[in-house]
Amino acid sequence: MSMEHRERRRWCEEISKINRNLNEDGQEKPNNPFDVFNKR
C-alpha cells in the first residue's frame, strides 16, 4: 500500500468497523488482522 501511515491506519480502522458490524451475531469472533486498535 502506498498510503501515508495516518491514512493507512484510518483505512484499517474503517475496515475493522465494517468487520465488527458484520460479525455481531453473538458468536465468538476470530482475530481480525485489520483491527490494529483491538476495538471489539
- pLDDT: is 28 or 14 the higher one? 14
DSSP state of 33: T
- Beta-carbon contacts of 1 under 8 Å, excluding residues fewer than 6 positions away, are 8, 11
Buried b or exposed e, range 7-38, using 16+ CB within 10 angstroms: eeeeebeeebeebeeeeeeeeeeeebeebeee
C-alpha cell at 19: 468487520
pLDDT, one tens digit per residue, over 4-16 is 999 999 999 899 8
C-alpha cell at 4: 501515508
Question: How high is the pLDDT of residue 24?
Answer: 72
